[in-house]
A and B are shown apart, each in its own frame.
Chain A
Amino acid sequence: MTPAVTPYPPGRGAGFLRVLHAEWTKIRTVRGWVTGLLAAAPMMVLAALLAGVGGNQEGAPPVPAGPHGGPVTDSFYFVHRPMAGDGSITVAVSALTSSIPKGPGDLGPGTVPWAKAGLVIKAGTRQGSPYAAIMVTGGHGVRMQDGFVNDTAGPPGPVSAESPRWLRLDRSGETVTGYASTDGTHWTEVGTARVSGLGSTAQAGLFVASPPAVRGGGTAGSVSTATFEDLHTREGRTGGHWTGTQVGARSPSFAGYPENTSGSFTASGSRITVTGAGDLAPAVRDSLPTGGHLRDLLAGTFAALIAVTVVGARFITEEYRDTTIHLTLAASPRRSRVLVAKAAVLWAVAFAAGLVGTLLAIPLGERLARGNGVYLFPVSSATELRVAVGTAALLATASVLALALGAILRHGAVAVAAVLVATVLPCLLTALPFTPAGLSKAVATVTPGAAFAVQQTLVPYHQVASNYTPYYGYYPLAPWAGFAVLSGYALASLAVAAVLLGRRDV
């Protein structure tokens, strides 16, 4: 008679928690894996350090900021005189032509859709001071704009000597109203703006601005000339001469005039011809090339991505190599549970390491960059937090994608390469100057690399023509939508991996 053996008394914890506990023990007991995952944090910090000390803008002129707090381009040719209190100013625009350099020193006619000629009432000639303006544009008809970011469309169509456009600005206290007319007698209201800070005596007059023209992946400086007629002001006039001033001649958000051109105005009879360059608009990455943004400080994400991807893939493929997977599945026969537990543990560790990295890297990089006089595009703390959390989630999810591909392919090197090609290569392709914009936007939408949209902090403006491409920090997808693309890939791969793991013999 042999004694009966009773199974060892059951321990604590439910089924899935046990698998989770086992996977946690597994990941934390291989030093290489822990090092790889935790390395994400110092890599982020190191890159932020590099980016922070790498640029030196000390002594550069300050970046003008508008009333909304954001950076602006406030550089244009202004023909003005003071206007005390309330008043009105009217003019007819009969021509607006633009020129773009064809080669060095060789200017040719060109189209600049957002070339502007019209009237402006501005607190002063200081950059960033509040204003309201009504204008004709190269390709967007009449517009009423104020505070750099606000834009209202008026009657469409271009101007010419045969069909000039009359423009009018009325100031009444803090309210400025813009009107447009095709004959000088019948007026339509285009818009009303409340402009605080105009002061008791504002500067009012004509202005011409000509932003850089977008060509291929870059921009070229342009210059525009407008013909005005019939300029008169009512009330509020304090008299004095019309003065021509280049506002913001030296500014980080103004690239200057094309070679051999300059701003000017000439008057003959009732006709005034004004030539100008620059813009009266919010600054974007393209127009403020020295400005840094949060993404620049987080370049370490790519290095960290490699580290977590390698660990993610090895976390499963080494089980196949050592055939530890036999033991794992013998201990936990519900196979999809094992995969989910692995993914959860990996995600959590990579996320934690990434979050520590971003939370350290962002303030450190910002402080260093600002200390070097580098202007950073302002972001709210909520956005900053979104970037930090999003970047950590990106790292963690990419790592899980590597795990899933590793489980499918059972080959570490291929899994690592697949994830890196899918996430990093799109960013690189979009950064190459000769990559067509279409390809650039396509890869930033459909590949897992779309997730880098979580690092977007820049805002595109429809009234500023620019290269709104991923290269400059403008992504085609919204931050979390981009992240969802990566998550979709990761979840789909995980599902495929679970099905295959369940079906395959090991």
Chain B
Amino acid sequence: MRTALHAEWTKLRTAAGPRWLLLGTIVATVALSTAATSMATCTAGGCGGDTTRLALTGVCLGQATIAILAAQTIGGEYGTGMIRSTLAAVPRRGTAFAAKAVALTGVVALGGTAAALGSVLAGRLVLPESGDRALSLAGGPTLRAVLGTVLYLVLIGLLSLGIATAVRDSATGVGLVLGLLYVLPILSATVGDLHWRRLLERAAPMSAGLSVQDTTDPGGPSLGPWAGLGVTAGWAAAALLAGGLLLRARDV
């Protein structure tokens, strides 16, 4: 496992793609977050909503580049045929897959931390005095929101890795992941029945997982911050399991 992990880490480190995508994640996240906070209308009472969540809006965008990065780590190998070399070097496919997942987790956690901290920092600079109070990292809920956002991005990376492994193509993988993330909430909004809508919102990986960013009314209509992230973790685990099992079962 250690050598396999080392190999995966070297692959990620030496290719230019992941580096750019990680940089893109940070830039995109901070940029959209800053745009969102700068357009908020703030009064002395607050900014008409959850300031922390607003300052972390950019994650909606940043998760897309994370999805590409993750899908590419395996989809790219299928595209070039390098997967054969990878599995020839580490014949125990479960180990090879786990090594990929662990290396990816490290990289995404690194980029995610930079993106989340950058967003909150930008929010503090952009917002007037009233924002400062809410965005102080000393405050428990904001710290939890930042930490949760990093974990959320890691889980999205793993979800994408699992799906891309299952479909053996990074473009299709990214399409499916973004479908799950973006389209599920939109589809659920059209369901008229309130009970079903609530259920769908709680089951969708993005709307559930991002409830970890709620600081004003945690646990209100949503599942609660950690339970919500748990739903996303469930999706990631299911995708990894499906991808791992298919990787073991199929010829390459």
Contacts and interface: CB of A to CB of B under 8 A. Distances in A.
A and B touch in the complex (CB under 8 A): yes
A306 B179 contact: yes
Given A417-B64, A417-B65, A429-B57, A434 B182 contact: no
Contacts of B71: 413
Given A47-B187, A321-B79, A417-B67, A374 B192 contact: yes
Interface string A180-223: 00000000000000000000000000000000000010000000
B174 to A, nearest CB: 4
Interface in A40-55: 47, 50-51, 54-55
A297 B183 CA distance: 14
Nearest to B71: A413
B139 to A, nearest CB: 18
A435 B185 CA distance: 15
Interface stretch (A16-24, A103-111, A309-317): A309-317
A434 B79 contact: no
A302 to B, nearest CB: 4
Contacts of B196: 54
A408 B35 CA distance: 27
A309 B189 contact: no
B187 A413 contact: no
Contact of B40 (A57, A292, A436): A436
Interface residues of A, number: 47
Interface stretch (A152-160, A239-247, A419-427): A419-427
Determine the main DSSP class of B at the interface with A.
helix
Given A56-B193, A292-B192, A303-B179, A412 B187 contact: no
B60 interface: yes
Given A50-B191, A413-B68, A435-B57, A424 B49 contact: no
A290 B194 CA distance: 11
Nearest to A36: B172
A54 B185 contact: no
Contacts of B36: 435-436, 439
Interface residues of B, number: 44
A424 B183 contact: yes
B14 interface: no
B192 to A, nearest CB: 2
A429 B175 CA distance: 18
B109 to A, nearest CB: 20
B140 interface: no
Contacts of A54: 190-193, 196-197
B68 A414 contact: yes
A415 to B, nearest CB: 7
A229 B214 CA distance: 52
A487 B39 CA distance: 27
Nearest to A434: B49
Contacts of B41: 436, 438
Nearest to B189: A431
Contact of B182 (A297, A300, A424): A424
Contact of A413 (B54, B174, B193): B174
A424 B50 contact: no
B171 A425 contact: no
A280 interface: no
Interface in A428-444: 428-429, 431-436, 438-439, 442
Contacts of A57: 192
A286 interface: no
Contacts of A299: 186-187, 189-190
Sort A-B residue pairs by CB-CB distance and give the 10 closest, nearest first: A55-B192, A412-B171, A413-B170, A54-B191, A434-B49, A310-B175, A299-B190, A438-B39, A302-B183, A424-B182
10 contacts: A47-B190, A50-B190, A51-B190, A54-B193, A306-B175, A309-B175, A414-B68, A420-B175, A425-B182, A439-B36
Interface of B: 35-36, 39-41, 48-50, 53-54, 57, 60-61, 64-65, 67-68, 71-72, 75, 79-80, 169-176, 178-179, 182-183, 185-187, 189-193, 196-197
Given A420-B64, A439-B39, 6 more contacts: A51-B190, A56-B192, A296-B190, A299-B190, A300-B187, A436-B48
